[in-house]
Structure formats: structure tokens, C-alpha cells
Structure 1
Amino acid sequence: MSPARVAEASARRLPAPYRGRFAPSPTGPLHFGSLVAAVGSYLDARANGGQWLLRIEDVDQPRTLPGAADEILRTLEGFGFAWDGEVLVQSQRLDLYHAELVRLQLDGEVYPCACSRTEIAACSPPRAVDGGLVYPGTCRNGLRGGRAARAWRLRVPDTTIAFGDRVQGRVEQNLDRAVGDFILLRADGQYAYQLAVVVDDAAQGINAVVRGVDLLDSTPRQIWLQQRLALATPTYAHLPVVTNACGEKLAKQTQAPAVDRSAGSAALAAALRFLGHTVPQEISSGPLRDFWPWAIAAWSIERVPARRGIFPG
């Protein structure tokens, strides 16, 4: 691909047959923000006659909480979610990530990097897209002074990746200026999320991704990696994320409480209202067996607000 070329990807037209997924990270119990993402991805799949797959994204082992994955599955089951096929677990797929990294190494798409975060911070400002650091390309032409490699980075060109998001509209990002060459294998030996998610979406045949807008800025990196590995690019729909009163995304780090699965239709209706839908009282207070058919019939991605974060209080 020419560095000057604008790469268009992920048009709004939905694929058929539709294959979507929900991919929680087991860093803690399922909270309301995760429930919103689950509801949105599930309803979009079912309303479009598609499949909904489940993946446990535990590739970042230092952040994984023992027992959290099983608790997430129990919570989803308690709310009546029904997924297709077996649950895919990233920590059981490290050999596949290794194989794709080796493929990129052989193709000259990646290179070893000896830079520490402190060294990068000394010569690079925080990037606007997500607060990380723009990598200045220090090791792109080889390690200096016999230094040992700490990580492996994917080369990016001075190219704008553009795609049509079904909620957020047209998104553009110049990878070189916004991010720089990004990591696929970290200094601690952990495979990066960007590599794992691209490999797994392709392996599961995912062609429609519905997830939180906190991952919007990483999507151009994933599209570039898909292109380097000759993989298809899914359609994307990035939902607003739930924030606390301080404007922080709900997460383990912000002490987000676990969602109560005994809340049933009331919690699901709250998630659907957050996504711009009006839910009748008789549905929100009724049994799960009535909620899901009604919600699938009522679902419309056009009603979902495009705001990045919303405090529901």
C-alpha cells in the first residue's frame, strides 16, 4: 500500500450472514458498562438474524483476576444471554499469536525495540487518541549499541486509515502521527491486545464488531494489522461508554460495582435505555422470557447516541 493512500475500510453495510461477538476481559466482575456492551452487541446480532459468539480476553495475564471469567459467564447466563458455539479463551491461544508474529517477522513487517517507556516519554509527547505515547521510531532501523530487544513493534506508514462506524460516523486516523509503530509483543512477554483481537476475530469469522467507544481509537491499528495479515475487516459500531459522576469510564480501576444478575429485566432495560431506546414499564418489570423477544424486535442501531461517555445518574 502506498503511504499516501487513504485506506477505506469497514463500510456501514452489514455482512450476511452476520457474526458478532462479546469479548469481556476478566479483570473483575461484569459491571453495568460491560452489560451495556453485551446488550448492544447481542441485540444487534439477533436483530440482524446473526450469530453472537463469546470470547474471554485474558491475554493480559497480569490484569486477569482468578475466577472472574467464570463469574462473568454465570452473570450472562443469569440474564438470559445465549451465545453460539464454544467460548474462546485467549490464554489458550498463545501459539496462534506466536505464529502470526513470526509470519510478520519473516515478512519484515515488525522489528525489535529496546526502548523503555521512560526513554520514549523523554522525546515524545502523549498521543491525543488515548493518552499513550507516540513512538518516534528510534529502533526502526536497528538496535543501537548492541542493546537487547524488549518488545516487537509493527511498522506503520504515514497513511490515513479511514472507516465508516455505524454509530460514530466516519473516522480517520494517521497512524504515524497519532500512534507510531505499535507493540505486538510486550517487554514482559505478553502478546498485545491488538494482535490477539485481530487474530481471534478472523479465527471466529467475526464480521460485525459492536463494542465500547473506548476502543474506537485502537480500531485503525487493528485495520492496518488486518491488512498486513491479509485478513478481512469487519464492520464496526462503537457504543457510548458508561461513566461515573467524575466522567471516568466504569472499570475495575474506578471501583465499578458488579451488576446484580438477580435484577433481571430491570437491569437489561436500563442498559437498553442507555443505548437510546424507550422501554415500556411492563417489559422492564416483566420476566426475561418477555424482555428478549421484545428487545430484539425493538432494536435499532440508529437510536444509539454517538457521545463518547454518558453518566446515567
Structure 2
Amino acid sequence: MFSCNNSIPQPLTFVLAGILGLESFHGWFSVPFFLVFIITVIGNTTILCIIWVEKSLHEPMFLLLAMLSVVDLSLVSVTVPRMLAVFWMNAKEISFNACLTQMFFIPSFYVMESGILLTMAFDRFVAIWHPLRYTTILTKNVLVKMAMAVLARAVAVLTPAPILAKRLERFQTHIIAYSYCAYMAVVQIACGDISDHIIYGLMVIVASVGFDLFFISLSYGLILHAVFQIPSWEARGKALSTCGSHLCVIALFYSPVVFSVLAQILGYRMAPHLQIITDNLYFLVPPMINPLIYGARTKQMREWVLWILRCQRN
């Protein structure tokens, strides 16, 4: 623990500790992080290429999937290279301004992904409740507006983060116990009253993840209500199967957040290194698994992937 008795002024550079307490194992941790990065890039790039080439996939569900892949690629691109630099080259120093930039972009892409999952839930809602009007409701113009709304919300919600962090004048230490610049990690080593920063952090969670999770739950509640009104079991199964991939992605994306919030409410405190690893999973696992889920569960994607594999063998 650090003390404010010997506080320091706002430093020009911070030091990223990586995984605090497990510094000697950084080389081992770098292997799964690197593999996650490679699999994520290959998987999401494949998804984007398939959707780009196959004109029949230029429909709302797949265009939203393309948006998700773009955000996933962006998310891992602003996190993993910095982590690997810490683990491989011991490049732990990061300038204050670079730290502010990272603390804006990383959560911004996370909030964007949450927003896209909400739009995908709306897509499934329209497909189940208004199948005959699906293409007239979810036009490309509407999709563009939804994408712009997702982007605008992320920018509006996360812009205050670097501004508020810039106003922090004195710190207990210049060492950040993470492998990237997280807003609350920087706030927690600051001196003085940080209650405003904590309130802001909670507001970000409520205005993004909390808002999205509520309306996703509402959408699927209405979807299930509509599905179970269908008399045919075969038709019910077909309707539910169209939502299967999205439900898997939602469970994967929100589970760590829900677990973390519940742990804090119940007073359970994880060891610092476990907390850091869990926080890393927020940003690393969903972008890797998303293309695998959609590739395995979506017929059109599965057929294209099998065709690509056959071509490589020949």
C-alpha cells in the first residue's frame, strides 16, 4: 500500500506493472495473450472478408456482425500490443498523455461492443415479432443511424474520463498495477478526494452496460413470449435457433461484468492479480470467441469457412 504522506506531483510518465505480484511469470502470460490476439485477428478478419465478398450476406444481421468484428479488432489492437510490450520487452513506461488516450479508447470500444449487442437484440426482436416487415424496418439507413448512435454514446460517456484524470494533481505513486491504463486504476493511486471519480465510474457502467443489459433482457423476454405463442414445436425451435449465437455472445460478454459487480456487492475481494487477470478477460476473450460462435452456429458462415479450408487443402 502507498501513502499520500510522500505524494508526488502529476508524473510525465507512468509505469505499468503488468500483473502485480506475478511479474516473474510475465513470459508465460504473454503466450496465451499472443495466441488470443492472433486468433482474434484471423477470426474477425475472416468474418469481415466473407461478409464483404458474399453479397447475399448484406442483410442487417450480418452487417451488424461486421460492425461487431470491427470493434473487436479495434479493442484488441489497443490493448494486446501494449500488454505484450510489457511482458516481452519490459517496456513498462507510458507517457501521461498516452495513458489518457488509452483510458479513453479501451473502454470506448467496450461500450461500443455493448451497444452493438443491444442493436443485434433489436434485430432479433424485429425478426421474430415483425418478420414480414423486417427488411422495411431495418433498412441500411436505419443501421447507419444505429451505428452512429452507438459511436456517439461511447464518445459522450467516455470523453470525461481523460479530462477528469488530467485534473488529478498529486499521486501516491507513478506505478499502475495493470498492463494498460485503466481509469479507475489511475484514480486509485491519486491523492485527495476521489468520490467524484468513483461516482462517474458507476455512471459509466449504468449508462452503458446496465442500460444495454436491461433492454437486451427486455427484448429477449418479448422474443420468448412471441416464440412460445407459436403452436408448432418445429417452428419454435427454428425461431430460437436464430437467436442462439447472439445469446451465447451476450452471456460471454456480460458474465465477467455481472460476476465482478456481484462480488463487490457481496463484499468478496479477489486477490489483486486475480482481479487484473479477470479485467483483462473483459477485453480479450469475447473478441476471440465471437467469430468462432458465429462461424460454428451460422449456416452461411460455416459453409464459407469449410469452402476456404477445402481450397487451402487443394
TM-score (norm 1): 0.24
Q: Return the structure number with greater helix share.
A: 2
* Pair member with larger Rg: 2
TM-score (norm 2): 0.24
> With CA pairs under 8 Å and 6+ residues apart, which has the higher RCO, 1 or 2?
2
Q: Return the structure number with greater strand share.
A: 1
